Structure 1
Amino acid sequence: MTDRKDELGRNLAKVEERIAAACAAAGRRREEVTLIVVTKTYPAADVRMLSELGVRHVAENRDQDAAPKAAECADLPLTWHFVGQLQTNKVRSVVGYADFVQSVDRSKLVTALSKEAVRAGREVGCLIQVALDAGESARGERGGVAPGGIGELADLVAGAPGLRLEGLMTVAPLTGEFAGRELAAFERMMDLSTDLRRTHPAATMVSAGMSADLEQAVAAGATHVRVGTAVLGVRPGLG
């Protein structure tokens, strides 16, 4: 176990160096960017080691993995983010542990989250997931609302009991005009964030950038980066 903790510590240090260098290059302070470690498919033991190494934000994308892990790590000073596509039948479980749901992309999900947050006596932070590969009305391949749908969904979240509108989230698109142009994609997200903050000034979070493109996200102005592979290694079963 000591070897694994050492490995995680080395990986974290490298990611920290990358974020710090990207902040310096962009003229930003390091504390402007929050690292969220995506712990999907990895055991609670890894989450515990990450917490001991100073990680405070972790993310999961599947409730069946996340719920037991969050329960096992309930004693740790962690903020849990749910980042995967969320079906309404999993909402009750997710609201039990997630401090933030970053993948809000349809009105039906807002209604379900609000109902369960009120029932549980919790307040859940919500980010609108934006699909930059979608047209102005369609949803993206990996979930997310088209840019033209942000305003309506944001108003819905902001008015929903038990929910807090925190900002926007995106994944660099694999298709469309931004394919292979991560910096341009993330700059577009910052423009959308600026538009959103005109009507919802407190919605300041922009979650963008992962292991391969966190530098571009920091350069564009992202407030949160979601890093899995660069910290935890290649996920089991993926080679």
Structure 2
Amino acid sequence: MNLLSTPSSRADELRDRLQRVRERIAAAGRPADAAEPHLIVVTKYFPASDVEILAGLGVRDVGENKDQEAAAKAAELSPLSLSWHFIGQLQSNKAKSVVRYATSVHSVDRLSLVTALGKAMAAEQRRLDGEGRAPRPDLNCFLQVDLRTAPARDADPGRGGAAPADLPRLAEAVARTPGLALSGLMAVAPLGGDAGEAFAHLRKLSEQLQADHPSARNISAGMSSDLEAAAAHGATHLRIGSDVLGPRPHVR
């Protein structure tokens, strides 16, 4: 499929939505030393045809939450050479699948996942070498940090994200694992809280991380509702879904 064969109504809708989001990003305030954030369009539950339209509109970074859906889309759209960002909670047993298509994982939040990703990358490198193919680049790893207060974390331990106190140990584990590259931090603003305050805290945590890992400069933060607050506090990657693609399709 190409844009000429795409129903014009959907192509036009995505073009208009994407333009409005790009204008918001360009107009958002940001630290004086910060470049304009990268846009990652989150395509969870939307068809591969939408991703193809977006690629035709210049989108190169695509975010997905579910491995089964992401793997299928990445395989179908492999000729487009997109960068796939896995942003959802990741089970360790899915690591082998994820490293076959993802350039980045934004949800590294525990040591067992670091171990699983390291083993998966080693296996993937052996597979590619056995097929006579070029080695794949290191997997970019964002440490997901839970910005909620300790009582909120204790009340809902199933939610993803490491406690801030656990970041140094997690960062060291990624940094010393072959095949993994420590990219920076990722977080979601707590529900009902002030996004600006949350992202200001995230920026301080990023500065602390960089003291020991200077190259881990990236901050993945901000969604459709709070991208301006994230940009204002130094986000380098914005994860935008509904404002580009519209309401999520009904999923049975």
Give the TM-score range, shorter chain. over 0.9
Provide closer, same or farther for how the CA distance between residues 134 and 145 of structure 1 changes in structure 2, counting only shifts above 3 A.
farther
Equivalent residue of 2:69, what SS? helix
Equivalent position SS for 2:185: strand
The residue correspondences of 1:212-223 to structure 2 (distance < 5 A) are 212-223=225-236
In the alignment of these two chains, the number of paired residues is 232
Q: Does 1:166 align with 2:183?
A: yes
Structure 2 gaps, min length 5 = 1-6, 126-135
1:130 aligned residue (145, 154, 169): 145
Relative contact order higher in (CA < 8 Å, ≥ 6 apart): 2
Identify which range, 125-134 or 224-233, moves more after superposition.
125-134
In 2, are the aligned partners of 1:132 and 1:170 still within 8 Å (CA)?
A: yes
Output the CA distance in 1 between the equivalents of 2:92 and 2:31. Answer: 41
Provide the aligned C-alpha RMSD in A.
1.8
Q: Which residue of 2 aligns with 1:18?
A: 24
| Partner of residue 188 from structure 1, selected from 185, 201, 214 | 201
Q: Take 2:247 and 2:111, find their aligned partners in 1: how far apart are those partners?
A: 35
**Structure 1 residue ranges, 4+ long, deviating more than 3 angstroms after superposition:** 25-31, 136-141
SS in 2 for 1:69: helix
Aligned to 1:231: 244
Q: After TM superposition, give the deviation of residue 90 of structure 1 in Å.
A: 1.0
Is the 8 Å Cα contact of residues 43 and 241 (structure 2) preserved in structure 1?
A: yes
The question of whether the paired residues in 1 share the 8 Å contact of 2:63 and 2:86 is answered with yes
Shift of 1:142: 2.6
Residues 1-10 or 131-140, more deviating: 131-140
Q: Aligned to 2:85, what secondary structure does the other structure show?
A: strand
State the secondary structure of the residue aligned to 1:168.
Answer: strand
Q: Is the 8 A contact 1:80 1:100 kept in 2?
A: yes
Preserved CA contact (<8 Å) 1:207 1:223 = yes
TM-score (norm 1): 0.92
Partner Cα separation in structure 2 for residue 231 and residue 99 of structure 1: 22
Identity, % of aligned pairs? 52
Give, as a single letter, the amino acid of the residue that structure 2 aligns with 1:94: V
Which residue of structure 1 aligns with residue 120 of structure 2?
116
Q: Secondary structure at the match of 1:26?
A: coil
User: What do residues 87-110 of structure 1 show as CA deviations (whole Å, max 9, x unaligned)?
Assistant: 011111111100000000000000
- 1:51 pairs with one of 49, 55, 58: 55
The answer for the alignment partner of 1:104 in structure 2 is 108
Report the Cα offset of residue 134 of structure 1.
4.8
d(CA) in 1 for partners of 2:243 and 2:10? 14
Shift in Å, 1:83: 0.4
Q: Do the aligned residues in 2 keep the contact of 1:101 with 1:125 (CA within 8 Å)?
A: yes
CA distance in structure 1 between the aligned counterparts of 2:14 and 2:26, rounded to whole angstroms: 18
One-letter amino acid matched to 2:101:
Y
- The answer to whether structure 1 residue 81 and structure 2 residue 85 are counterparts is yes
**Contact conserved, 1:40 with 1:61, CA < 8 A, in 2?**
yes
Q: Tell me the equivalent position of 2:9.
A: 3
Measure the CA separation in 2 of the matches of 1:53 and 1:4: 13
For the 8 Å contact 1:126–1:163, the answer to whether it is kept is yes
Q: Structure 1 residue 155 and structure 2 residue 172: aligned?
A: yes
Q: CA deviation at 1:30?
A: 8.4
Aligned to 1:198: 211
* Secondary structure of the structure 2 residue equivalent to 1:84: coil
Q: Secondary structure at the match of 2:147?
A: coil
Q: Does the CA contact (< 8 Å) of 2:63 and 2:87 recur in 1?
A: yes
The CA distance in 1 between the partners of 2:66 and 2:20, in whole Å, is: 27
| Structure ID, larger Rg | 2
CA contact (8 A) 2:31 2:234 kept: no
Per the alignment, in what secondary structure is the counterpart of residue 125 of structure 1? strand
Q: Distance in 2 between matches of 1:201 and 1:133?
A: 26
